[in-house]
Structure 1
Amino acid sequence: MSQKTERPVLSGQRIKTRKRDEREKYDPTGFRDAVIAGLEKTEGDLDQISKYLDSAGNKLDYRRYGEVLFDILIAGGLLVPGGSISQDGEKPRTSYCIFDAPESMESMRNHEQVFVKLIRRYKYLEKMFEEEMGKVLLFVKGFTPSERIKLARMTALWLVNGSVPPNVLLVLNNEHLIKDGIALEFLLELFQTFKQEKGIAYLIQALKKGGLESKLMDFFPP
Structure 2
Amino acid sequence: MYPVPPAPTPPGQKEVKPNLVGVRNKQRKGVQKAQAKFEPQAFRDQLTKHLESVPPGDFDAVAQKLDVLGNQLDYRKYEQQLFEVLLVGGLLAPGGGFIDDGSAKSSFSVIGSAKEPVEAADLKKIVDVFHKLMRRYKYLQKPFEETALRGILQYTNKFSPIDQEKLAVATSQFVSTGLASANVLVSLKKDHLVKDGSAVTFLTTFCKTYIASESVEHLCSSLRKGGVTDLEGYFPPSKQNATELSAHFKSAGLEGVVAFYLKQKSGQAKEDTLARLKEFVAEEADYDEILTYLEAIYKRAVLTEPEFISIVWTGLMTSLDMTTKPELLPDLAIKEIQEVSPLLEPFCQKPATEVALINTIQIWCYENTKLMNTFPKILKVLYSTDVLSDQAIIYWHAKGAKTQGKQHFLNATTPLVNFLKEQEDSDEEEDDE
- Superposed pair shares fold, TM > 0.5: yes
For residues 95-121 of structure 1, give each alpha carbon's deviation from its aligned partner in whole angstroms, at most 9, with x where no partner exists: 321112212112101001100000000
Distance 1:96 1:59 in 2: 19
Q: Structure 1 residue 173 and structure 2 residue 189: aligned?
A: yes
Aligned pair count?
Answer: 219
Answer whether contact 2:48 2:107 (CA < 8 A) is retained: no
Task: Give the Å deviation of 1:2.
Answer: 2.8
Task: Give the Å deviation of 1:62.
Answer: 0.5
**Residue number in structure 2 paired with 1:29:** 41
**Residue number in structure 2 paired with 1:65:** 78
**Residue number in structure 1 paired with 2:129:** 114
Mapping 1:1-222, distance limit 5 Å: 2-3=10-11, 4=13, 5-7=15-17, 23-44=35-56, 45-88=58-101, 91-100=103-112, 101-102=114-115, 103-130=118-145, 131-213=147-229, 215-222=230-237
Answer whether contact 1:86 1:92 (CA < 8 A) is retained: no
Letter in 2 for 1:145: P
Answer whether contact 2:84 2:90 (CA < 8 A) is retained: yes
Answer whether contact 1:160 1:194 (CA < 8 A) is retained: yes
**SS of residue in 2 equivalent to 1:39:** helix
Q: Could you say which structure has the higher helix fraction?
A: 2
Distance 1:157 1:146 in 2: 17
Classify 1:14/1:87 alpha carbon distance in 2 versus 1 (closer, same or farther; 3 Å): farther
Task: Give the Å deviation of 1:8.
Answer: 7.0
TM-score for the superposition, normalised by structure 1:
0.90
Answer whether contact 1:82 1:141 (CA < 8 A) is retained: no
TM-score for the superposition, normalised by structure 2:
0.47
Task: Give the Å deviation of 1:48.
Answer: 1.1
Distance 2:53 2:81 in 1: 19
CA-atom RMSD in angstroms? 2.4
Distance 2:48 2:68 in 1: 14
For residues 141-161 of structure 1, give each alpha carbon's deviation from its aligned partner in whole angstroms, at most 9, with x where no partner exists: 101101100000000000001
Classify 1:9/1:173 alpha carbon distance in 2 versus 1 (closer, same or farther; 3 Å): same
Q: Which contiguous aligned blocks of 4+ residues in structure 1 show a shift greater than 4 angstroms?
A: 7-15
Distance 2:55 2:108 in 1: 8
Higher relative contact order structure (alpha carbons within 8 Å, sequence separation ≥ 6): 1
Answer whether contact 2:51 2:65 (CA < 8 A) is retained: yes
Task: Give the Å deviation of 1:11.
Answer: 8.8
Distance 2:108 2:215 in 1: 31
Distance 1:132 1:211 in 2: 19
- Computing the radius of gyration from Cα coordinates, the structure with the larger value is 2
